[in-house]
Structure 1
Amino acid sequence: MIDPEMRVLRERADRGDASAADELIELAAERGDMDELRRLSAGGNATATDQLIELATELDDMDELRRLAAGGNTTAAEQLMELTAE
């Protein structure tokens, strides 16, 4: 997807278009785009948060999991504990 298309998709998602948000999340997860997932997660999108945790876990990104856990995300805290217990 080219940048102008991403911009339109972001604008739609920011206006509350759930389909656009879902598409952005899917694209970001496929590309490993943690910045996009963080942005959507910060906006309150639980699916983006779940995908961010999944990607951080796959990449062994302890800093990201710690950041999410410190913000109160129990799933991130659980993943962090699992990764550090290995």
Structure 2
Amino acid sequence: MTDRELVELRERAARGDSDAVGQLVELAGERGDLAELRRLAEAGSSDATDELVQAAGELGDVAELRRLADGGNQDAADVLAEIEED
């Protein structure tokens, strides 16, 4: 995907295009782009939140998992507890 296509996809997502949001979540997950996932999650995408928890867990990003868990995300709390057990 070109930079221009990515910009256009973000613009569509900002206008409420759920397909564009889904594509952005998928792309960000594939790239491990936590910043993009965080932005999408904060905009209300539960899929982005789920992907963010998964990516942060895979990367061992304790700070991100703690931030999500402190915000009430039980999945993040569970992953954080698993990491801290190891």
Please tell me the TM-score bracket, short chain as reference. Answer: over 0.9
Partner residue in 2 for 1:50: 50
TM-score (normalizing by structure 2) = 0.96
2-structure distance, mates of 1:75, 1:29: 17
CA drift of 1:14 comes to 1.1
| 1:37-71 deviation digits (Å, cap 9, x = unpaired) | 00000001000000000000001110000010111
How many pairs does the alignment contain? Answer: 86
2-structure distance, mates of 1:33, 1:5: 17
Q: Runs of 4+ in structure 1 displaced over 6 angstroms?
A: none
CA drift of 1:81 comes to 0.5
Equivalent position SS for 1:72? coil
Report the AA paired with residue 65 of structure 1.
L
TM-score (normalizing by structure 1) = 0.96
Is 1:12 aligned to 2:12, yes or no? yes
Report the AA paired with residue 20 of structure 2.
A
2-structure distance, mates of 1:18, 1:43: 12
| Structure 2 unaligned residues grouped into runs of 5+ | none
Partner residue in 1 for 2:38: 38
Partner residue in 2 for 1:80: 80
- Give me the identity figure in percent: 55
| Structure 1 unaligned residues grouped into runs of 5+ | none
